[in-house]
Chain A
């Protein structure tokens, strides 16, 4: 199976690689060069030279060229040719391009159109296209007449499409931000049939608003089937209201737990105010009152609403006036007069949360943490907050805020203060190896890494700091998953390592150089480099002395097939080692 033609042809170019001097001499030669001054690849069509490939000191001690930083943070890692392209167009132009995605995404679209996902109905396995992705809300809602497995299948289709887009979309920043917002507004698609069934709608909300206005985003989420079911507002009505959504609106979507000051104040009158007379944080009273404001916000799902009346069964957002608590409310220090028009109370809560400086700080901190470092510099967060607050009513509020973050000095100077999460490791591996990726039977096998795509069990979304992802189970799960990805039974990815290497790449050293450049795009510690080179040049028979690094590796082009296979195994092992190494895991 090969569909490489669908991939931009930039991946297949002829390259002459740096011929070896001694590793020590090379270390000395490159130590003097700052990475940003070092040409990683010369102009297209001419000889390309990779420098530096090694550096003195440990893995964590070097920085990375801005192209590598950008492609590991604004994208799911470089594809072949990406680093040269960003260098050529310039980093600011790349940011500008990525901040303005369009519908023009032919490679990803074709891959999604060609994808087939297995679905078992009554012991018969069907291979079906990802048809729910383009279904209307009414069409998706109608799926509830089908079996549980079939009706919840749309969530699996979104998972598959998300993988394919991450690997192939030219609008990488959009994919990174869609993942961010899915986690920010996390719902567990496995929690309710209706959530899984309408998950394509929820994904569309993330895509539509990922660079837009936060207030509009909040409203779309608040009125979505997914969120109304997941956090139970669907069934919230007067006496007593269900607090689940209101609680997370404050704690996770908006102001954040850092602005929950219930341990300090138990009366809203006591909460200090800022210079614009807004309370500096929220307490339980705000949650209770906001929950009352959202009573009656629900989904038309055919449920009885009393007095013999039923809601229509359309799956659309609706408001049930008889469920609404109409009495006076006090939210974030503001009085809501009784008997407001339909939806007015809830909308006002969204207005207050969206405009609150605490929300600006909470969301901007999270954006900086995602795009820059686990502990982002305070000055960067402040700059992002400033942009956010200055654009509260702008249609492109989030785009402008992200631009502030990406063009900051901090973005360029914080390499390695974050590790890739398992999804990023896996997609980066697929992109860098130019895998022919079709998703196949990938499904739940990915959960063993600890990354639970669209089924993270709590509304917090996946953790975004390394403490979590450096646990033994997660690290090992990720390593094992990378090793599993090319296996044929998974039918997910075909990788042709030899086919990726130009004909001139013949010696052990050239191969190591080629794959370090391709997979990392930056230098490796000298000791690490030597370990890889020694592995590649080792003789097939372990008792024989190693070959010269400037000879073809043992078994390369050999007539005996078993010797060729041994060489291929060593090449595969080389690529695994680089992708499992700490160098590849940094971000």
Chain B
């Protein structure tokens, strides 16, 4: 009989404790549970396609920006004011459709790190995503994601520690046995009730069929069936046993669209209190090679309003919530002939949460003059994305294991984006 993950974890803990000797073992576990109690719930929103960061948080007064972009720019008059910019003369403003982000920023919940990204010079989506999500900018074939390795160190014992809100698990959770993906309503997270007479027995037999082997297929099938059981047992039901639809907090105004749906599912799971530690969301549509002005404002608005609603929905959980918004790269400074922008280099990263030093831009601004650009065409990466993620891993997730999470990243210096304890780095 195969052990469930939970049994396996418990077994391991006991074995390690026995090997290490009682005193050390107890010490380790005492420390770990203290750390676990402090850990945030981390939500990573990935903007797939390469978000045009220069048009989201725009240096509206920069002469090079104005010169390079005849149509695809935020003007000084249209842009929404942004306090505490990283450089006063650049005239940083929010895109006009980013009102929801501005509100979070003005409330000091949102921090912006501009000119942030991947130091590897690739302009390929797939390479850039592979490098970033695996957390190894020199190796895109690393078999695990950065969150996978962080979770391994956390060894969470909750029932659903990692949740991908979408039809599949992203590469940042590559090969993680903790991760599950849900793309439909949380209520529908079950086998269909067909044939209804034998539905329950059928699920039980299927579970046993997946116990008859130890291929990855068996492990994944079993993990899926166990997750189903967990979620179904937790969902609130009415007196007839019917699942009650999820109701967000009254002031959380989600929008139509995939991002709001995905974030709403995460809020629901957080409130079910089943041990969630990390959630991921993919939000696509940022690869704007042509007619950018037709799609970009809608994307920005959906991002902005959805995050705003999500934050309102989880008002009771802000003290344990850290949300990261990132993309594989920014886009070229100069717009192309088709009213679009091609793949660039430096992008931006945003962090939202109750322990974020928000309402300000962090890091440095490299400028947009020709000699300040990467390869003469793109925004330079002034802040390595690993700097911010490491700070969150250490201070918010109590996992200071940088040599595992971001191997080869040796010059970590916190930017003071979040508050928290600086545990000794390992």
Chain A complexes with chain B: yes
The answer to whether A59 and B218 have CB atoms under 8 Å apart is yes
Docked-complex contact A448 and B213, CB < 8 angstroms: no
A184 to B49, CA, bound (A): 19
Q: Is the CB of B126 within 8 A of A450?
A: no
Q: Does B202 belong to the interface (CB within 8 Å)?
A: yes
Assess whether B289 is in contact with A244, with CB atoms less than 8 Å apart. yes
Q: Is B217 within 8 A of A582, CB to CB?
A: yes
Query: Which one of A17-25, A426-434, A466-474 is at the interface?
Result: A466-474
Does B338 count as interface, using CB distance less than 8 angstroms? yes
User: Chain A residue with minimal CB distance to B197?
Assistant: A569
Q: Which residues of B contact A59 (CB under 8 A)?
A: 209, 212-213, 215, 217-218
Most buried by B among A239, A419, A447, A582: A582
Indicate whether A531 reaches chain B with its CB closer than 8 angstroms.
Answer: yes
Residue of B nearest to A59 (CB): B213
Say yes or no: B220 contacts A470, CB within 8 Å: yes
B124, A457: Cβ atoms closer than 8 Å = no
On whether the beta carbons of B212 and A468 are closer than 8 Å, the reply is no
When the two chains form their complex, are residues A471 and B202 in contact, meaning their CB atoms are under 8 A apart?
Answer: no
Cβ-defined contact, A581 with B206, below 8 A: yes
Residues of A within 8 A of B205 (CB): 531-532, 535, 577
B161 vs chain A, min Cβ distance (A): 13
Chain B hits for A449, CB < 8 A: 167
Interface membership of chain A positions 267-299, coded 1 if the CB is closer than 8 angstroms to chain B and 0 otherwise: 000000000000000001000000000000000
Which residues of chain A come closer than 8 Å to B86, judged between CB atoms?
none
Question: Which residues on B sit within 8 Å (CB–CB) of A447?
Answer: 167
B181 CB to closest chain A CB (Å) equals 3
Within 8 A of A (CB), among B332-361: 334, 336-338, 340, 342-343
Interface membership of B182, Cβ < 8 A: yes
What are 18 sample pairs from A and B whose C-beta atoms fall under 8 A apart?
A58-B213, A232-B290, A242-B338, A247-B124, A251-B126, A262-B122, A263-B120, A284-B121, A450-B168, A528-B209, A528-B212, A531-B205, A531-B208, A570-B195, A576-B202, A577-B202, A582-B221, A585-B217
- Does A586 lie at the interface of the complex (its beta carbon under 8 Å from any beta carbon of B)? yes
- The answer for the CA separation of A566 and B201 in the assembled complex, in Å, is 13
Residue of B nearest to A480 (CB): B192
The verdict on A483 contacting chain B, using a C-beta distance below 8 Å, is: yes
Assess the A573–B213 pair: CB atoms within 8 A: no
Measured between alpha carbons, how far is A476 from B168 in the docked complex, in Å?
A: 11
**CB-based contact A472/B223 at 8 Å:** yes
CB of A235 within 8 A of CB of B206, answer: no
Interface residues of A in 251-274 (CB under 8 A from B): 251, 257, 260, 262-263
Output the nearest chain A residue to B130 by Cβ-Cβ distance.
A257
B residues near A576, Cβ cutoff 8 Å: 194, 202
- Pair B212/A527 contact, Cβ less than 8 Å: yes
How many chain A residues have a CB neighbour from B under 8 Å?
63
B173 to chain A, nearest CB (A): 9
Mark interface residues in A474-485 (1 if CB within 8 Å of B CB, else 0). 111101100110
The verdict on A477 contacting B184 (CB below 8 Å), with A263-B120, A577-B205 known, is: yes
Interface membership of B166, Cβ < 8 A: yes
In the complex the two chains form, what is the Cα distance from A419 to B164 in whole Å? Answer: 21
When the two chains form their complex, are residues A476 and B228 in contact, meaning their CB atoms are under 8 A apart? Answer: yes
B221 and A473 form a contact (CB under 8 A)? no
The verdict on A197 contacting chain B, using a C-beta distance below 8 Å, is no
Q: Would you give the shortest CB distance from A413 to chain B, in whole angstroms?
A: 17
* A242–B221 CA distance with the chains assembled, in angstroms: 44
Closest Cβ–Cβ distance, residue A240 to chain B (whole Å)? 6
Question: Is A572 at the interface (CB under 8 A from chain B)?
Answer: yes
User: B52-92 vs A: 1/0 string, CB under 8 Å?
Assistant: 00000000000000000000000000000000000000000
In the bound complex, do residue A472 and residue B227 qualify as a contact, i.e. CB atoms below 8 Å apart? yes
Residues of A contacting B124 in the complex (Cβ-Cβ under 8 angstroms): 247, 251, 257, 260
Closest A residue to B188 by CB, please name it.
Answer: A480
Q: Considering only CB atoms, which chain B residue lies closest to A419 in the complex? A: B217
Kindly state whether residue B273 has any CB partner on chain A within 8 Å.
no
* A473 & B218 in contact (Cβ 8 Å cutoff): no
A582 to B182, CA, bound (A): 21
Given contacts A60-B213, A525-B213, contact A473 B167 (CB under 8 A): yes
Q: Considering the chains assembled together, what is the distance between the CA atoms of A272 and B220 in angstroms?
A: 43
> A86-121 vs B: 1/0 string, CB under 8 Å?
000000000000000000000000000000000000
A interface vs B, CB < 8 Å? 58-61, 232, 235, 237, 239-240, 242-244, 247, 251, 257, 260, 262-263, 284, 416, 419, 447-450, 457-458, 460, 466-468, 470-477, 479-480, 483-484, 487, 525, 527-528, 531-532, 535, 566, 569-570, 572-573, 576-577, 580-583, 585-586
List chain B residues, Cβ under 8 A from A532: 205
**Residue from A242, A251, A483 within 8 A of B289 (CB atoms):** A242
B166 to chain A: which residues have CB within 8 Å? 473
Contact of A531 among B121, B125, B138, B209 (CB under 8 A): B209
A466 and B337 in contact, given A472-B182, A528-B209 (Cβ under 8 angstroms)? no
Of A466, A470, A580, the most chain B CB neighbours within 10 A belong to A470
B409 at interface by CB-CB < 8 Å: no
Closest 6 CB pairs of A and B: A473-B181, A58-B213, A59-B213, A470-B220, A472-B180, A569-B195
A581→B338 CA distance, assembly (Å): 50
In the complex, the answer to whether A487 meets B194 with C-beta atoms within 8 Å is: yes
Shortest distance from the beta carbon of B276 to any chain A beta carbon, whole Å: 14
Report yes or no: A470 in contact with B337, Cβ–Cβ below 8 A: no
A474 to B169, CA, bound (A): 9
B318 contacts A by Cβ under 8 Å:
no
- Told that A263-B122, A471-B181, A472-B223 touch, could you supply 9 new A-B pairs with CB distance under 8 A? A60-B218, A257-B126, A263-B120, A284-B121, A447-B167, A474-B168, A566-B197, A573-B202, A577-B205
> Which A residues lie within 8 Å of B317 (CB)?
none
Q: How far is the CA of A527 from the CA of B189 in the complex (A)?
A: 28
Interface membership of B155, Cβ < 8 A: no
Name the one of A58, A237, A284, A569 contacting B212, with C-beta atoms under 8 angstroms. A58
Given contacts A232-B290, A257-B124, A573-B195, contact A471 B213 (CB under 8 A): no
Give every chain B residue within 8 A of A476 (Cβ-Cβ). 189, 191, 224, 228
Is B240 at the interface (CB under 8 A from chain A)? no
**A239 close to B191 (CB less than 8 A):** no
The interface residues of chain A lying within 8 Å CB-to-CB of B206 are: 577, 580-581
- CB neighbours (8 Å) of B227 from chain A are 472
Q: Say yes or no: B228 contacts A263, CB within 8 Å.
A: no
Q: Are B342 and A242 in contact (CB under 8 A)?
A: yes
Task: Answer whether A467 and B174 are a contact pair too, CB < 8 Å, given A569-B195, A569-B198.
Answer: yes
Contact partner of B175 (CB less than 8 A), chosen from A240, A247, A467, A583, is A467
Give Cα A416–Cα B212 distance, bound, in whole angstroms. 15
Whether A235 pairs with B198 at a CB distance below 8 angstroms is no
Give Cα distance in the complex from A59 to B214, angstroms. 8
Within 8 A of A (CB), among B171-185: 174-175, 179-184
- Distance in angstroms from A172 CB to nearest chain B CB is 23
Q: Verify B168–A468 contact, CB threshold 8 A.
A: yes
B224 near A475: Cβ-Cβ < 8 Å: yes
Asked if B127 and A257 make an inter-chain contact with CB atoms under 8 angstroms apart, the answer reads: yes
In the complex, the answer to whether A60 meets B215 with C-beta atoms within 8 Å is: yes
Which residues in B have their C-beta under 8 angstroms from that of A473? Answer: 164, 166-169, 180-184
Taking the complex as formed, is B320 at the interface, i.e. its CB lies under 8 A from any CB of chain A? Answer: no
Residues of A within 8 A of B224 (CB): 472, 475-476
Is the CB–CB distance between A477 and B221 below 8 Å? no
A391 to B220 CA separation, bound complex (whole angstroms): 42
Q: Inside 8 A of A262's CB, which chain B residues have their CB?
A: 121-122
Contacting residues, chain A, for B174 (C-beta < 8 A) = 467
Tell me if B198 and A570 are in contact (CB < 8 A): yes
CB of B401 within 8 Å of the partner chain:
no
Is B123 at the interface (CB under 8 A from chain A)?
Answer: yes
Mark interface residues in B204-239 (1 if CB within 8 Å of A CB, else 0): 011011101111111011011001100000000000
Decide if B284 is an interface residue (CB 8 Å cutoff): yes
Q: Which residues of A are found within 8 Å of B192, using beta-carbon distances?
A: 480, 483-484
